[in-house]
Amino acid sequence: MSKVKNIVYLYSEVMPYAIAVMRAMVREFGVQVDCIYWDQKKRTPFLPSDEQGIYFHKRSTFDERSIVEFIEKRNPSAMYIVGRMDDLYLKTALHFRSSVKIVTGSDNQWYGNLKQRVATVLSGMLYRRYFEYFWVPGRRQYEFARRMGYPNEKIISNLLTADTDIFGEVYERDREIKRRRYPHNMVFAGRFAKTKGVDILIEAFTEAKEATNNDWQLTLIGSGDNLITDAPFIKVKDFMQGPELAKDCSNWGVFCLPSIYEPWGVVIHEFTMSGIPVLCSDKVGAADSLVVDNYNGYVFKSGDKQQLKQAIIKFMSKSDKELFAMGERGYALSKMHSPVISAYSFLSVTNE
């Protein structure tokens, strides 16, 4: 790999796991990362802060002229642009297309619907006009990139990863605790929204609890729509950032992500890395590499409350030893992804 200069991100809403990859770039390659990010109309309360080698700049402070001047001063080796969602970012891509390695990323799954089929016809104008490389997290997104006309050598893997600095220690910290007494507590962490399937989870868990009459509890962590439940075995907690989630992992025995729509789901990686079995819908992209049915979790048909209920009952019926073993297997699978692997994957575009 040639000497790498600076890296520029033109990003939407920044999340902690994206910063973990930036940190890996700084540590491994000694680059400076400048990230312009959306600071308005945010969906989560997280706010990024500057740190060694990484500097954040509010999107609202730039126009077409100032963003070009900003990037020219950084003279980056590569630039990451978060999809086609920002017209200013697209204009910037066109300006630097011939002089900078420009990468876009997407967690879009290939569904083959009418909208996507039309996009394949227009892909030259929609994607390849702006971006030389396509960065994807998994096989469903790889298929999307291929359909958009990108050859194998222009598709990069390992877009999304959990923060191993935070969750990598949880497994070792909690391992002996859970070996002695495994927590009978299923947890959901994410936005409280219809697309996340939280309402179906509450119903399915309640019915499973009534059918088995056991000591299992359900904890729901997040923000968004108001959740209505008065069941004594269901607890609702406010949104937690990564360090807070990691701190409480010793209390949870199974993670559930019952999404109706979930292109990837970094949270799956966070919990498998923590040594926690996973239950998720078949719409969750991360399940392809991180959840093996009946090995470290279960995958059910999205929106099917009865399948979800039966999967919950399977977990409730397992011994603590079996649950612990499933968590161990998930931890092994989690090692396939990391911020360092993501950083090297991205910066492979700078190879001569």
Same domain assignment for residues 170 and 254: yes
**Cα–Cα distance between 251 and 214 in angstroms, integer?**
17
pLDDT digits 0-9 by tens, 327-352:
999 999 999 999 999 999 999 999 85
Same domain assignment for residues 234 and 300: yes
Same domain assignment for residues 55 and 103: yes
pLDDT at 2: 55
Judged against a pLDDT cut of 90, whether residue 210 lies above it is answered with yes
**pLDDT mean over 79-87:** 96
Q: Is residue 252 part of a domain?
A: yes
Q: Is residue 120 part of a domain?
A: yes
Of 184, 309, 153, residue with least CA distance to 254: 184
Task: Write the single-letter amino acid at 19.
Answer: I
What pairs with residue 103 in β-bridges? 80, 133
**Cα–Cα distance between 77 and 1 in angstroms, integer?**
12
Q: What share of the chain has pLDDT > 90, as a percent?
A: 90
Of 288, 227, 283, 228, residue with least CA distance to 257: 283
Domain that holds residue 36: 6-161+338-350
CATH code assigned at 313: 3.40.50.2000
If pLDDT is split at 50, 70 and 90, which confidence band does 320 have?
Answer: very high
Same domain assignment for residues 297 and 169: yes
**Domain count within the chain:** 2
The SS3 assignment for 68 reads helix
Same domain assignment for residues 188 and 229: yes
pLDDT at 239: 86
Same domain assignment for residues 131 and 37: yes
Most confident of 42-46, 68-72, 244-248: 68-72
Of 40-49, 52-61, 150-159, which gets the smallest average pLDDT?
40-49
pLDDT digits 0-9 by tens, 275-311:
999 999 999 999 999 999 999 999 999 999 999 999 9
**Cα–Cα distance between 137 and 159 in angstroms, integer?**
4
Judged against a pLDDT cut of 70, whether residue 324 lies above it is answered with yes
Same domain assignment for residues 43 and 72: yes
Q: Is residue 102 part of a domain?
A: yes
pLDDT digits 0-9 by tens, 88-136:
999 999 999 999 999 999 999 999 999 999 999 999 999 999 999 999 9
Distances (CA, A) of 247 to 94, 234, 239, 252, 279: 44, 20, 14, 11, 21
Judged against a pLDDT cut of 90, whether residue 34 lies above it is answered with yes
Judged against a pLDDT cut of 90, whether residue 258 lies above it is answered with yes
Distances (CA, A) of 134 to 95, 100, 110, 167: 18, 14, 14, 27
pLDDT at 42: 82
Judged against a pLDDT cut of 70, whether residue 1 lies above it is answered with no
Same domain assignment for residues 48 and 151: yes
What does the mean pLDDT of the chain come to?
95
**pLDDT mean over 234-253:** 91
Q: Is residue 122 part of a domain?
A: yes
Same domain assignment for residues 89 and 138: yes
Q: Is residue 86 part of a domain?
A: yes
What is the chain's percent helix, strand, coil content, to nearest 5?
45, 20, 35
Q: Is residue 1 part of a domain?
A: no
Same domain assignment for residues 313 and 174: yes
The SS3 assignment for 137 reads coil
Same domain assignment for residues 206 and 104: no
Same domain assignment for residues 180 and 228: yes
**Cα–Cα distance between 338 and 272 in angstroms, integer?**
12
